[in-house]
Amino acid sequence: MKYLTTLAEKVGKEWFDAEFAKAIKDSDIALRALRQRCATAAKRLTKARARNTDYDHFATACPRAAQVVLDIIADQARQAAVLCRRLICLVQSNDPKIRFEPVGAVPVMWNSDEWSDASRCVSDWE
């Protein structure tokens, strides 16, 4: 969470507010208050969205941020492994066509039961 809040503070309030507004569209989450820090708003969004685990909504609203979050988690998992600790990230999506760039230089793979497009009911004709 520290890396995400640091990132939120570094991008600038105008950019953050624009992306935050997209991320909270059609939700009951309020916009960032005038004197509220970007990091505080990001924590509020993260906690609220954690209840809705469909990562595809986040990835659709903020594709670059969704990719960056996965990269941050991958980096933290590697650092945890160095310290003989474990960190796992499971991303749930209802979008069978969701795709991500490699995360931490490692391709993002479907699980063994869903790796083929046919098993996810995705055809080449769509």
Q: Which two tokens stand for residue 60?
A: 């659709």
| Residues contacting 36, CB < 8 A, separation 6+ | none
pLDDT tens, 109-118?
Answer: 777 776 666 7
In this predicted structure, the answer to whether residue 69 has a pLDDT above a threshold of 80 is: yes
As a dihedral over the C-alpha atoms of residue 93, residue 97, residue 102, residue 108, rounded to 10 degrees, the angle is 60
pLDDT (0 to 100) of residue 85: 87
On whether the pTM is more than 0.75, the answer is: no
pLDDT (0 to 100) of residue 114: 67
In this predicted structure, the answer to whether residue 51 has a pLDDT above a threshold of 60 is: no
φ and ψ of 124, to 5 deg = -70, -15
> Average pLDDT, stretch 51-58?
71
